[in-house]
Amino acid sequence: MVPIYWEGLTTAQQEQAATDNLIDLTKLRPSDVARVAYDHPLDVDWSSVIFIKNFRTVNQQVDTVVWTANEGFYRTPATPNALLAELSAISGVSGFDQKTDLGYLRLSGPVPFVVGSTMLVSTERPMRANNVSWLGGQEVANVKSGVHLGNVRVILNNGAIAIFKDSPTRLRKKLDEACQLRDFEQRRWALAQEQRNLVYGRSYDQDLRDYPAYRDHQLLWAAFKKAGYPVGLADVDQILREVYACDPRSWHLTDER
């Protein structure tokens, strides 16, 4: 066991967690976390995030707990959504990027956040609120059923155990999809590296070569929809073909067509 996993908790909570080698996040309360971080934006080591626990309720001032492998626990006033927005800003990877990858691979939602070795999967999803909790899939070794219905026991890479609200079947599926997204991202990165030294006749996986066009298609269609223009998917395809060919003719979308 790595003792730092439990740092930041109150003394009583640290002693209990160290003795049991386990923490039940369904019973954790903000008051059980002694360390508070008010920095904005937070300096988070995202590759070591184990869990981002949402405590957002009415009149809750410090409503999120972050648990990392190298710093332990701390509280922050930032919501989980705000923390993910910070990750998007520093990584250059947007929620649209993640959603596009998910659609291209024909995977189901909700959308995880995958960048590099970091794989954040949403969990403990409330019925009405839009703030969820997030599990760092890169720290997960195994997923098992919890003692109580609706709970899971997640064994971490160092053998420690975390309990929280989810189902083993759903969580395993989401972790597997996050791994698929990570692998696809790594394959695209490898292709980009190889393209620096193109060799005539070398072939690449078709799905990797098709991806940029798919992403452009989704982005352009979403932009027209956002702007309120009734442009069909066939028109989007035609516009992209003309753009790729550097066709200078304009589409007068505000005219009747």
| Full DSSP string of 152-180 | EEEEETTS-EEEEES-HHHHHHHHHHHHH
pTM: 0.76
H-helix or E-strand spanning residue 89: helix 80-91
**pLDDT reported for residue 60:** 59
Contact 133/53 with Cβ under 8 angstroms?
yes
Please tell me which residue, 257 or 85, carries the higher pLDDT value.
85
Position 197 pLDDT exceeds 50: yes
DSSP collapsed to 3 states, 240-255: HHHHHCCCCCCCCCCC
Burial of 75 (0-12, 13-18, 19+ CB in 10 A): buried
In the chain, the percentage of residues whose pLDDT exceeds 90 is: 37
**pLDDT reported for residue 155:** 95
- Tell me which DSSP letter residue 9 carries: B
Cα Rg of the chain (Å, integer):
22
Phi, psi values for residue 114, rounded to 5°: -125, 120
Contact 178/115 with Cβ under 8 angstroms?
no
- How far CA 216 is from CA of 104, 121, 174, 220, in Å, comes to 12, 25, 26, 6
pLDDT digits (tens, 9 = 90+) for 5-39: 899 999 999 999 999 999 999 999 999 999 988 77
Strands (E), the chain: 22-24, 49-54, 64-68, 72-76, 113-115, 118-123, 133-136, 140-145, 151-156, 161-165
Strands 49-54 and 22-24: unpaired
Mean pLDDT of 132-148: 91
pLDDT digits (tens, 9 = 90+) for 148-184: 888 999 999 989 999 999 999 999 999 999 999 999 8
